[in-house]
Amino acid sequence: MNRTERVALSEPVADEIRKTTCYMCACRCGINVHIKDGRIRYIEGNRDHPVNKGVLCAKGSAGIMQHYAPARLRAPLKRVGPRGSGKFEEISWEEALEIATGWLDGVRQDDPKKLAFFTGRDQSQSLTGFWAQQYGTPNYAAHGGFCSVNMAAAGIMTIGGAFWEFGAPDWDRTKLFVLFGVAEDHDSNPIKMGIAKLKQNGARFVSVNPVRTGYSAVADNWIGIRPGTDGLLILAIVHELLKARRIDVDYLVRYSNATWLVIDAPGTAEHGLFARDGEGKPLVFESVTEQVVAAGSKGARATLSGRVQLADGRFAVPSFQLLAEKYLDPKYAPEAVAAETGVAADTIRGLAAEIARVAFDEAITIEQPWTDVHGQHHQGFVGRPVSFHAMRGLSAHSNGFQTARALHMLQVLIGAVDCPGGFRFEPPYPKPVSAHPTPHGRAEHFGSNKPLSGPHLGFPRGPEDLLVDAEGRPARIDKAFSWDAPFSVHGLMHMVIANAHAGDPYPVDVLFLYMANMAWNSSMNTAGVIRMLEDKDPESGEYKIPKIIYSDAYASEMVAYADLVLPDTTYLERHDCISLLDRPISEPDAVQDAIRWPVIEPDRNVRGFQSVLIDLGARLRLPGFADNHGKPLYKDYADYIVRHERRPGIGPLAGFRGLKGDRAGRGATNPEQLQRYIENGSFFSTHIPLEAQFFKHANQAYQDFGVRMGFFDTPQPVTFQLYQESLQKFRLSAEGVREPLAPETHRQRILETFDPLPDWYRPLGEAMVDGHTFPYHAITQRPAAMYHSWGSMNAWLRQIHTSNALYVPGSICERLDLADGDWVWLISHHSRIKVPVARMEAVNSSTVWTWNAIGKREGAWGLDRNVPEAQKSFLMNHLIHELLPPRQDGLRWSNSDPITGQAAWYDLRVRIEKADKGVVSEPHFPGIAEPDGERPSPMELRYGQEWEQ
Amino acid sequence: MHPASSIIVFTVLSGLGYGLAAFLGLGLLDPSAFATKVAYISALVLIAGGLLSSTLHLGNPRRAWRAFSQWRSSWLSREGVLSVLVFVPLAMSAWLCAMEGRYSAPIGIAGSLLSLATVFCTSMIYASLKSVQAWHTRLTSACYLLFSLAGGALLGSAFGVAGSGSASPLSFFALVLLISAWTVKIAWLRHLDSLKPLSTPESATGLGAVGRVRLFERPHVTENYLTSEMGFRVARKHAAKLRKFALLLGGLLPGALVFLVLAALLAGAEAGGAAILALMAASLSHIIGMLAERWLFFAEARHAVMNYYGG
Amino acid sequence: MTSLPALPTPKKLGLVIDLDVCVGCHACVVNCKEWNTGGYGAALSDQHPYGADVSGAWLNRVHSFEVVPEGGEIVGEAGEARIVHFPKSCLHCEDAPCVTVCPTGASYKRTEDGIVLVDEEKCIGCGLCAWSCPYGAREMDLAAGVMKKCTLCIDRIYNETLEELDRQPACVRTCPANARHFGDLGDPSSVVSMMVAARGGIDLMPEQGTRPVNKYLPPRPRKPLAASAGQMPKGEDTSGATGFFAWLDGMLDRI
């Protein structure tokens, strides 16, 4: 018998392939969804897609189970039981929208700030932000504040862009790649593909990370650093590079503010600020004519050191002199930082040596003539093939902003920003801070029944741009852009519930959340947050946060705390737009955006949140959503994506614009636009001309290209801000010499942390607790198979990570006589949790860690009540308070970066005590009811059995 | 290895049945005696019961007939083929005894040989597996054969005494075989205890050159087919206790009982109910001991795959 | 036939897995499940998918090991431990014990390309093949009662309805880190064979005598960073940084 006859080798896979964009995490890979008999047969990566080029991760491949998960919500819900009980009744969409409109309309008339609208895992911030602005509440942000705002803010303020959505290593050319901290979180497939390229090209890959898992596991060198000390390590490298004179002086002079003169007039309102001419242009000292001239003057040869007298008689020095003096200080020598960082001096010196060697001895040149924005011609692009990447690992510390600044400074010092082999910007970045708006939300920016006068989020240029009242009190519910966190450019979502509950700075009436699991793993102090959501005003008997509207596709823990639930679709049932106005997916060589479209029709009474928001906007008669007669402007989100224009010719999508669909960037709206995207694999990509591909911050061809594409209306070159003037303005306010003055309570803290040059200070959470009582660091990361995925209840993914253990270094295990499976109390200054442990050697010896967000609340996510996720698994969140321990004056700071308000998840300090054997981790919460009735929990899944050959 | 009750019951019961059948085939019992007829039926019932039990282990028992096809390479197939073939002489012998009260040597001896061959095939299913080092020894087959014969002789001697009313040579064989079987089994256990693992986490991953290898995380947190089938681990203390229990009930107690009966009968005691009862008790004790022995046979065996699962 | 092919198969199709690159993301694991649950043979079922004892049949799994040097190769910065992610599926052995133990002939090795397959129509679910495999490459599907194993995506690699580029196993096509490679290991000039030769590819458990076709590329040797420390000048007095600024002026003159 011929065996092969038994095997059907050439069966067509499916009836049809529909190409859309993945949403199982934040990468936004292109996917081919194979449809067979109206069901999903298979999801694979789209080979033509620029983000993932055909590959797909575990999450993307588990999309089928996400789509068909029993945890999906089925209809709009109105709460009937007490909050947290999970008891709801199904209502019609009409009723749900009427309720929401009633609540929101009242607030908009009375006091629009009493709506707090925050979106979690949002990929449509250009819509949600626009909606909030038209509504007129000052209280809007997405989840960046508890995610990676330090990275974004520091990057944009220093070099005009940051990692991930703003830029990427030049994977093809880099010869040394240094990865700081956990980075499996963002850009996961591109980084994996990049690491593969490094390995193929024989490049060296160094990982600096307390835990050696994931990418760190394959690094050529692993530096198991003590959490929160990366900034110090970077500054020690800078020290070594300066000392060895291995810096790119030419690059610094051309592209950074190293030559800009800093006024040296202590005690005055301008001390430490840049000396400027009458037009506000910064000044430099020209060495040939020995004159002070405006930066960028043609032919000027600016100095990098030396004290200069200005025309007004004051003295000034180039900012680079301050920089060099600061970092040449022996306190940054490798030997001096070895104990604090836990990294041997020779390792630091070796890393510095490798960075220098590769940057300068292995420099590469791409022969491609180009012209810089000063009109100077260059024969080629000189590349320093050293690249860096970092994300939450650096971000989620209270010194993360300064650390990220330090990293960008290091890149600039060796001339490795946007050069061949270095870190490269992705359009529409870089953009200087001056091209970003300032924040809006002060009392004069909003009022009854009118839009906010400008965008909520932006970059303050100094204390004058803060959103505070005359007494310095915060204007926003999350206290963003206040003296607490002046550069909180993504808001502070993690403080919203606590502040609203406390009525500080004021109570809110409606809390409107989208895809943010604030009653569980997205909040610090989860138990406390749950109490706040359940807490009632003893007099009125009303909840302290009276009305909560929540939109989610799944029965997450947060659903149980909503009063009104707007059920969202799965990612395969919806329209979406990954827009250049929002969070771009461009590559260094190409401008890109993408869409999602319903490749499967919903089989439940659910609607895409964005369409619902647009509907609500029209019902509320918001400008931009309804015309003068109250007629809706848009049918749904798809219609909005095509027809909305932010500026003339600029809409959510850059591709296939114009009546013929042949315009990119700017162009008239095209009714066929979505169809053209779908035909093109649901994305659009246009290449940057070769002469415009590098040094974009100062490349005339790129700047012209950017104007053509509509990134900006005039060229916006970036001068790298090593010395950060806006931080110095805050210090002057804190010194009491410059208006507006900082409140007394904040002065010391600002002076200690707002150094205009990248600095390192011990993380606040660590500095405020006793190191002997809490000797260890406790950190978390999500596993690669679940990172950023909305719902680890996925039937396939949950088999990989059904429960989590606390990983404890071998040395600690021996001291405490701990073996795998033993239980411990993990204790912080705030709380304690009882958890199972597992031993690990490949981890920093003072650090324990676990996989995050495996733990679920009993009854949530459509899982059985006795699942390990709800019994044995645990969250570290319980140990982390949203506030730091009280100071002597009784005040408590938010547990955030003092500059950006970034949630300092990784500052946690703990001690461990051996506990009795356990079965259920502690704390354990009472189960919640399933929101829309008991879900079928199949005993067995045989997905695809109908297609057995 | 997971001690699946279906397989334990199968190997113990069918082993006993085949052992009894092997002795019956030698014609040592009076074919006209009623007890001998019962013995024949018992052998067939034990064998058939064991075989039925074994099919419980199958994912698709309805296709079990397919298992006869691969006798050229597969010990399991050979066992299957022989287990059916052996029914021909056994059924014939049983028929002759039960219906005609007679014994045919050619048929009987064919039955004996096929019975032992079947047990040998069963043993080789395990002994041929290199992946389970504890089993991968000739001693495994010796144990299976000797235990089968010992059990057969023990049970047979009860029927012999009942049928003849006098001492049976099978009692003597039972004593000798019990001693031999346990001697070999103890050698098997020593072999097990002294095993240097053929495969290690280092050889399983090829990472031995880098250092000592230890499982950090399983590929899936909960049990899977492999870990529940092959990841069974028995605590050393527990195993030691069970070993003693198996030896006591499977060897010492039945041995002592047989010896006492034999000595009493040879000394001229009457081969009455007490002797039969004692031999029946010895057989029952042996079966219980064998169940424990067989449980341990699986439970103490480590599968090479556990190098990947930290077991 | 349950016997192995008498002659070496003309092709030895298999995988080469690069342990130096695998980051343990489980992409291959899930994409394999996804492809095969709707493909060759019965679905890969999951038991108690939303319950406490969730389990399922998978054809490819990623284990994670911790390797602690003990007088072995020095890794990391100070010989620290490392994690190695370790994907494992059927190795399509040349002397596949799973084939010869099969009582029904369901388990077989294809003569043309060496792929080891299970003919599910014939499988009685006795599980002996899984016992015989030292690698744990076979898992019983508890719903169908038949043995499941990696088919090397035989319904992809010969599938003429797929683009030529896509005719490779799902795990290889989806691997973001390019840690998995598919090819003919019987052809010394194939890309995979050359990779094995260049990187010293190894067999798993060679002592089991199974002669696996799949090979693993071990982690590359590492050079510690501290070895480069000597390249940096030490000991210069940096007080006041005057020497530095003098150098800087010199540099500026040259620009």
| Mean pLDDT computed over C50-54 | 96
pLDDT tens-place string over residues A609-635: 999 999 999 999 999 999 999 999 999
Of A56, A250, A353, the CB nearest to C31: A56
Distance CA A653, CA A644 (A): 9
C170 interface with A at CB cutoff 8 Å: yes
Going from the C-alpha of A6 to that of each of A9, A307, C21, C110, the distances in angstroms are 9, 86, 37, 12
pLDDT of C78 higher than 60: no
pLDDT at residue number C238? 58
CATH topology of domain A764-915: Barwin-like endoglucanases (2.40.40)
Whole-number average pLDDT of chain A: 95
Judged by average pLDDT, the poorest of A414-423, B3-12, C23-32, C131-140 is B3-12
Residue B220 to residue A868, Cβ atoms within 8 A: no
| Superfamily designation of domain A167-425 | Dimethylsulfoxide Reductase, domain 2 (3.40.228.10)
Say what percent of chain A tops pLDDT 90.
91
DSSP structural state of residue A427:
T
pLDDT at residue number C116? 97
| Mean pLDDT computed over A783-803 | 89
pLDDT of C188 higher than 50: yes
Residue A904 to chain B, least CA–CA distance (Å): 28
pLDDT tens-place string over residues A198-228: 999 999 999 999 999 999 999 999 999 999 9
Residue A867 to residue C54, Cβ atoms within 8 A: yes
Distance CA A746, CA A762 (A): 18
pLDDT at residue number A891? 79
Q: Which residue has the higher pLDDT, A228 or C73?
A: A228
Q: For the domain with range B5-308, which CATH number is right: 1.20.1630.10, 3.30.1180.20, 3.40.50.300, 3.30.360.10?
A: 1.20.1630.10
Query: Is C200 a domain residue?
Result: yes
C198 interface with A at CB cutoff 8 Å: no
pLDDT band, residue A717 (cuts 50/70/90): very high
Judged by average pLDDT, the poorest of A196-205, A666-675, B265-274, C101-110 is B265-274
| Mean pLDDT computed over B266-276 | 85
pLDDT tens-place string over residues B203-215: 999 999 888 999 9
Run of H or E residues at A318? strand A315-318
Those chains having 3 or more beta-carbon pairs within 8 angstroms of chain A are B, C
Q: Which residues of B touch C133 (CB under 8 A)?
A: 131, 305
pLDDT at residue number A299? 82
pLDDT at residue number B167? 79
Going from the C-alpha of A342 to that of each of A222, A227, A771, A834, A844, the distances in angstroms are 13, 9, 15, 28, 8
| Mean pLDDT computed over A689-711 | 97
Distance CA A183, CA A189 (A): 11
Judged by average pLDDT, the poorest of A176-190, A755-769, A771-785 is A176-190
Closest to B283 in 3D by CA, of B110, B126, B163, B161: B161
pLDDT tens-place string over residues A78-99: 999 999 999 999 999 999 999 9
Residue B66 to residue C64, Cβ atoms within 8 A: no
Which residue is associated with the tokens 């162009």?
A667
CA A576 from centre of chain: 19
Residue C17: which CATH number?
A: 3.30.70.20
Of C66, C99, C209, the CB nearest to B216: C66
pLDDT of A236 higher than 80: yes
pLDDT band, residue A272 (cuts 50/70/90): very high
pLDDT at residue number C74? 42
Beta-bridged to residue A594, according to DSSP, are A578, A683
Of C43, C175, C248, the CB nearest to A944: C43
A203's CB contacts (< 8 A; 6+ apart) are A174, A175, A176, A177, A197, A385
Based on the structure, what is the number of domains in chain C? 1
pTM for this model (two decimals) = 0.96
C189 interface with A at CB cutoff 8 Å: no
Residue A729 to chain B, least CA–CA distance (Å): 50
C216 interface with A at CB cutoff 8 Å: no
Of C54, C72, C123, the CB nearest to B60: C123
| Mean pLDDT computed over C102-106 | 94
Residue C239 to chain B, least CA–CA distance (Å): 45
Query: Is C243 a domain residue?
Result: no
Boundaries of every domain in chain B: 5-308
DSSP structural state of residue B98:
I
CB distance C114 to C94 below 8 Å: yes
Say what percent of chain A tops pLDDT 70.
99
C242 interface with A at CB cutoff 8 Å: no
pLDDT tens-place string over residues A515-557: 999 999 999 999 999 999 999 999 999 999 999 999 999 999 9
pLDDT at residue number B142? 98
Of C38, C48, C52, the CB nearest to A944: C38
Q: Which residues of C touch A214 (CB under 8 A)?
A: 23-25
pLDDT of A155 higher than 80: yes
CB distance C186 to C211 below 8 Å: no
pLDDT at residue number A2? 43
For residue A4, the tally of other CB atoms under 10 A from its CB is 15
Closest to A756 in 3D by CA, of A735, A726, A781: A726
pLDDT at residue number C20? 96
Those chains having 3 or more beta-carbon pairs within 8 angstroms of chain B are A, C
Query: Is C180 a domain residue?
Result: yes
pLDDT at residue number C254? 79
Search chain C and give the residue with CA nearest A347. Answer: C226
φ/ψ of A9, rounded to 5, equals -90, -25
Strands (DSSP E) contained in A650-697 are 683-687
Q: Which residue has the higher pLDDT, C235 or C113?
A: C113
pLDDT at residue number C237? 58
pLDDT at residue number A5? 47
Could you say which residues from 835 to 894 on chain A have a Cβ atom under 8 Å away from some Cβ of chain B?
840, 868
pLDDT tens-place string over residues C236-251: 555 656 788 888 888 8
CA A182 from centre of chain: 13
Whole-number average pLDDT of chain C: 91
Q: Which of C45, C55, C63 is best to mutate for the B interface (most B CBs within 10 A)?
A: C63
pLDDT at residue number C234? 61
| Mean pLDDT computed over A721-731 | 98
* Count of alpha carbons within 13 angstroms of residue C179, beta-carbon side: 31
pLDDT band, residue C77 (cuts 50/70/90): very low
A502's CB contacts (< 8 A; 6+ apart) are none
pLDDT of B27 higher than 60: yes
Residue C127 to chain A, least CA–CA distance (Å): 20
Boundaries of every domain in chain A: 167-425, 764-915
Say what percent of chain C tops pLDDT 90.
78
Q: Which residues of C touch A303 (CB under 8 A)?
A: 249, 252
User: Are domains A167-425 and A764-915 of this chain identical in fold?
Assistant: no
Distance CA B59, CA A503 (A): 64
Search chain C and give the residue with CA nearest A782. Answer: C25
Say what percent of chain B tops pLDDT 70.
100
* Count of alpha carbons within 13 angstroms of residue A764, beta-carbon side: 32
A382's CB contacts (< 8 A; 6+ apart) are A363, A364, A365, A415, A419, A420
pLDDT at residue number B268? 83
Q: Which residues of C touch B197 (CB under 8 A)?
A: none
Of B59, B206, B216, the CB nearest to C64: B216
pLDDT at residue number B214? 95
B212 interface with A at CB cutoff 8 Å: no
